Chain A
Amino acid sequence: MKAKLTRELIAMRAAKELFEGAVVNLGIGIPTLVSGFVPEGLTIVFQTENGALGFGPLVGPEDFARLADVDLVNAGGQYLIPVPGMCFFSSLESFAMIRGGHIDITILGAIEVSESGDLANWMIPQRGVGNIGGGMDLAFNAKKVIVTMEHVAKDGRPKIVKKCLAPLTAPGCVDLIITDIAVIEVAAEGLALKEIVSGWTLDEVQALTGPRLIVEKPPKIIEL
């Protein structure tokens, strides 16, 4: 089998999308890992919807006894390290930031993404129930929505599809899809294949993708 990017490497590629001063909210899963790969010299303002901005890295297990504080966590309940300049606020300001269009980039996981950039990430149809949380507000209102995910589901079915079967988080919201084998841009005319992992061919990527990919120029090899 051909090599695919690990979850960490997907996060590393996603981190290249960040820009100086960007206000960024990371979803649970692969997106959370992105904070560990911020390019050197770049200042990113991370937002967590439970109410903190500009925090440091997560507290590692070795430091729990010294630094873990239940009043200093992110939306996933992971402990944060305070840094100078960080600030706290309530859900009121937090969702004013999100819904008011003050978040430059949100990076989210996905169950499916459609040809037109529809995102489904809150309910696995087989489970029948799911959590909406803050993801829907982010998907609808962030300036740029990046999806990081595996290219195909565990059973091998494409996660990039013509039309989502899972309930939508937001229609037409996704700008960029970064998977373990490709980087795909959601354009007005469809999905544009921009980059592929070294060793993969166009046809092989296409075979694992539902809709027809637009290839104007030969795709670049993903660089990390």
Chain B
Amino acid sequence: MVSKIFKSFDEAVADIKDGATIMIACFAGPGGFPYFLVKALAKHGAKDLTVISNTAGGIGLTFDFDDHKILFENRQVRKVIASFPFSVSPSKPTCAEKQIIAGELELELVPQGTLVERIRAGGAGMPAFYTPTGAGTIVAEGKEERIFGGRPCLLEHALRADYAFIRAYKADKLGNLIYRGTQRHLNPAMATAADIVIAEVDEIVAVGRLDPEAIITPGIFVKRIVRLAHEPDFPRHLNKSFWAKPKKGQRRKR
């Protein structure tokens, strides 16, 4: 079997072409965010991308770090499909926000549950589904509406991508993944819905070392695995571990 393990993030994103559609998992901070893959994509420079993500980067919650806002700053993105694309403080608009208002970036605003379900449908081979969320609001504009059980529902279409950038805790060499805490969020869904799923992980372990009962993302979904290097500019807050056992001779910091 061809190895799924890539030595560097640059290699793992090297074949991404202009115009590609990329799913990027993210939610409220650095937890579960594929930081180095996004950084490598910024360096790689592919343009006219469609990004499918929860946010459009830099929304300014409790964390400020270089998330996928760098792709918008680089003007690599043509269209973003997201549920929370704008800054939480109107006085500090994100880069994507300015581009959307200027008409330079296309936005498809989606309720978060609908976003997740569209990705799930894409991964599960379902072309579309009906949901009540959004009926009677601007989300309904241009969508087919049907009544189920007396409730108006909207027809929503599946989402798929050329690539998905996933962040997990540990992988084995087959690509089986486990996650840590609230790191999971959109990662397992996105891992099913792209042609090439690239996982950025803390650790790659030998086959058999992950408890089969605990695996969240089965390995067949994952095409590429890159272990994150603890580089000098590795954000310190990404490197904390709860419930992680201290190494021998090391005392847990208090």
Contact = CB atoms under 8 A, between A and B. Distances in A.
Contacts of A169: 137
B101 A132 contact: no
A212 B150 CA distance: 29
Contact of A76 (B62, B101, B183, B238): B62
Given A76-B62, A91-B185, A170-B137, 15 more contacts: A50-B28, A66-B254, A71-B183, A73-B29, A77-B29, A91-B112, A91-B184, A92-B189, A99-B131, A131-B86, A131-B88, A132-B83, A132-B139, A137-B133, A170-B136
B182 A92 contact: no
B247 interface: no
Contacts, number: 156
Q: Output the residue of B83, B85, B181, B237 with the most chain A CB within 10 A.
A: B181
A51 B139 contact: no
Interface residues of B, number: 56
B137 A171 contact: yes
A141 B120 CA distance: 19
B187 interface: yes
A128 B242 CA distance: 41
A1 interface: no
A95 B242 contact: no
Contact of A77 (B62, B90, B110, B116): B62
A74 B181 contact: no
B61 A90 contact: no
B92 to A, nearest CB: 12
A152 interface: no
A71 B112 contact: no
A154 interface: no
B241 interface: yes
A50 B182 contact: yes
A146 B135 CA distance: 20
A127 B90 contact: yes
Contacts of B186: 90-91
Contacts of B62: 73, 76-78
A137 B113 contact: yes
A88 B111 contact: no
